[in-house]
Amino acid sequence: MLGGMVDLLLPRSCAVCEHSVDAGDSSLVCGRCWARAHELPHPRCDRCGHPQTRPKCSWCEQLPPFIRAARSAYWIPGGSAAAIVHALKYGGWHGVADGMASRMARLSWPADVVAERSMVVPTPLAPARERERGFNQSALLARALARRWGVPFVSDCVVRARATATQTRLTPEERRGNVSGAFRAAQNARARLQGAHVVLVDDVITTGATLSECATTLFESGARIISIVTFGRAPAAGDRAH
């Protein structure tokens, strides 16, 4: 009764579309907005999780050999997924991360990844950008995901060595150059990373340049293998939207 009275007197609005959230729905994003987000279609590559449109997966070729698997839940841009990310990063809706992580946690993985994953690590922001934003959206996602998986959340084993320019308007080659040397292992991180299967988390992956560079730092610092999971993924030319 108390919950019903609160919903009546203080109706909640969706963080994305600002329409009223259905009574009894505890999510900050309404069901209609989640339904409008475009999931990556099947079939998907067993390693990189990218929709298979050719016999040979060209997306896998962009990943270093020590990346075991990569997964993403939704296309960005596409449907409402980009607006959900925007609500988290720029709208101040930190609680949206929980619903995003819930859907990331449902993604299927090779059996060895599920058996071996030993820590969940967020992609770090540059200190100045994190101070400006007040939080790291990847850390919010990683913490919520680690809780669902029952795997340790570790946020201090890799840091940004330098700030980088925005990747938005750069070519794939320029993106790789922009993030080269952008990460370094934190002090005393090697002992924790030694032999670990690390799951690296970010909100969106485009060409994979940033995540590959961060994964390289983890690998060179002792991690045995790295897997990647993001909420969104940018489609490549020729990809199917549905």
Q: 167-176 long-range CB contacts below 8 Å, 24 or more apart? A: 167/206, 167/209, 167/210, 172/207, 172/209, 175/206, 175/207, 175/209, 175/210, 176/207, 176/209, 176/213
Cα of first residue to Cα of last residue in the chain, in angstroms, is 42
Residues 6+ apart with CB under 8 A from 102: 144, 148
Predicted local distance difference test score (pLDDT) of residue 218: 96
Predicted local distance difference test score (pLDDT) of residue 167: 57
Predicted local distance difference test score (pLDDT) of residue 61: 87
Predicted local distance difference test score (pLDDT) of residue 225: 98
**Domains defined along the chain, listed by start:** 37-233 (3.40.50.2020)
Does the structure show a pLDDT above 80 at 8? no
Instruction: Tell me whether strands 117-122 and 67-75 are parallel, antiparallel or unpaired.
Output: unpaired
Average pLDDT across the chain, whole number: 88
* CA angle, residues 216, 102, 79, in degrees to nearest 5: 90
State pLDDT tens for residues 16-28. Answer: 998 888 766 678 9
Give the mean model confidence (pLDDT) for residues 204-230. 94
Q: 63-90 burial by CB neighbour count: b if 16+ within 10 A, else e?
A: beeebbbbbbbbbbebbbbbbbbbbbbe
Q: Are 152 and 119 in contact (CB under 8 A)?
A: yes
Q: How confident is the model at residue 230 (pLDDT cuts 50, 70, 90)?
A: very high
DSSP state of 61: G
Q: Are 140 and 102 in contact (CB under 8 A)?
A: no
Q: Are 9 and 79 in contact (CB under 8 A)?
A: no
Residue whose C-alpha is closest to residue 49's, from 16, 74, 31 = 74
- The pTM for the full model equals 0.89
Whole-Å CA distances, 166 to 147, 171, 180, 206: 30, 12, 13, 12
Does the structure show a pLDDT above 70 at 170? no
Q: Which of 15-24, 82-91, 172-181 has the lowest mean pLDDT?
A: 172-181
